[in-house]
Amino acid sequence: MKKFFSILFRFFADRKLYYLIIGLVLFGVISLIAMDRIIMPSYTNHDKGITVPNISRMSLEEAQGVLESRGLRHELARKRSNEAFPPDYVIDQTPGAGMLVKPNRKVYVTVNTASTPLVTVPEVEDLSLRNATIQLQNSGLQRGNVTYESSRFRNSVLRQSIPAGREVDHNSTVDLIVGDGLGVDMVEVPDVTNMHLTEAQNTLQGSGLRIGEIRFEPTDQVVPNTVLSYAPDDEPSVYEGTAIDLVVSVSPSEEEEEETGPVIIDESDNDNDQ
């Protein structure tokens, strides 16, 4: 045992061990500094950058030459039709002009196509005006003129200028014929005064009319939820689909928002696109 400790003491007392440890530490520090200051910057082209040139409004061949002269590459991202540019001209680039990038970086270009791409017209009849507009835009088309025509289906597309399924140029315009919520027939306005609100609503809708604004008026002269008046009440007949406004009773002690009577909301009023 004493011999073991004697050998161990002589080992740690030997200066060569400390020289070895110091040498390893210095080697590690120098290696880290070299990696950070020399090797990695050289590998990643640190402090070296190329300003991306503006290649818009150039032919693809000319743009390729400009990029190669700057040490950059190009790749065709997509083709798009733009009447303001000749065919095979660059109309967009990524990264944009003026940006600082690494050497040999790819620049993605959008090139004007020689011919306008075709798209298929979707079926938008019977859709709401809002949904029809979204469908057209998603198909690469534009909504054109909107003409209203008598129909009980308010803001519903009745017809479209280009039939569904036809192939047309991208960004073409499709005109729409939309219902105005009014029918072509005249109907009598029933007298709903003194009716309960639910009964008045059912009566008006059964006559082909819509429920308009419902305004509550405090009174203790009649039972709550009783129709006090309606408008228009000075016309014996109106177009089918006309909205009728109602004034309904409510107890003076109640807040209008606490009204518990059934109210039918005409959903066609909510889609009021023009």
d(C-alpha 231, C-alpha 248), whole Å: 12
Nearest to 180 by CA among 204, 208, 147: 147
In which element (H, E) is residue 69 found? Answer: helix 60-69
d(C-alpha 44, C-alpha 122), whole Å: 51
Out of 1.10.10.10, 3.90.70.10, 3.30.10.20, 3.50.50.60, the CATH code matching 118-179 is 3.30.10.20
Out of 3.20.20.70, 3.30.56.10, 3.90.1150.10, 3.30.10.20, the CATH code matching 188-268 is 3.30.10.20
Is the pTM here over 0.85, yes or no?
no
Q: What is the mean pLDDT of residues 137-166?
A: 88
Average pLDDT, the chain: 81
Instruction: Please report which confidence band the pLDDT of residue 44 belongs to, taking 50, 70 and 90 as the band edges.
Output: low
DSSP 221: S
Which residue in the block uniquely carries the two structure tokens 């129909």? 151
Of all residues in the chain, what percent are helix, strand and coil, respectively (each to 5)?
30, 30, 40
User: Which of 48-52, 80-84, 223-227, 234-238 shows the highest mean pLDDT?
Assistant: 223-227
Q: What is the mean pLDDT of residues 18-39?
A: 75
pLDDT of residue 234: 84
Q: Does the pLDDT of residue 265 top 60, yes or no?
A: no
In terms of C-beta density within 10 A (0-12 exposed, 13-18 middle, 19 or more buried), how is residue 136 classed?
buried
pLDDT of residue 157: 92
**What percent of the chain lies above the pLDDT cut of 70?**
80
Instruction: Specify the CATH number of the domain 50-112.
Output: 3.30.10.20
User: Who has greater pLDDT, 21 or 60?
Assistant: 60
d(C-alpha 21, C-alpha 19), whole Å: 6
Q: What is the mean pLDDT of residues 203-222?
A: 88
Query: Which distant-in-sequence residues (6+ apart) come within 8 Å of 37 by Cβ?
Result: none
Q: Do domains 50-112 and 188-268 have the same CATH topology?
A: yes
What is the longest distance spanned by two Cα atoms in the chain?
A: 126
User: Where along the chain do its domains lie?
Assistant: 2-44, 50-112, 118-179, 188-268
Report helix, strand or coil for 214: strand
Q: What is the mean pLDDT of residues 149-176?
A: 88
CA distances from 244 to 90, 150, 200, 223, 234 (A): 59, 18, 10, 21, 12
Q: Does the pLDDT of residue 261 top 70, yes or no?
A: no
Name the β-bridge partners of 229. 247
Sign of the four-CA dihedral 141, 142, 144, 148: positive
Q: What is the mean pLDDT of residues 73-98?
A: 84
Report helix, strand or coil for 12: helix
User: Who has greater pLDDT, 233 or 12?
Assistant: 233
Q: Tell me the per-residue pLDDT of 86-131, one tens digit each, with 9 for 90 and over.
A: 888 898 899 988 889 989 899 999 888 877 778 899 999 989 999 9
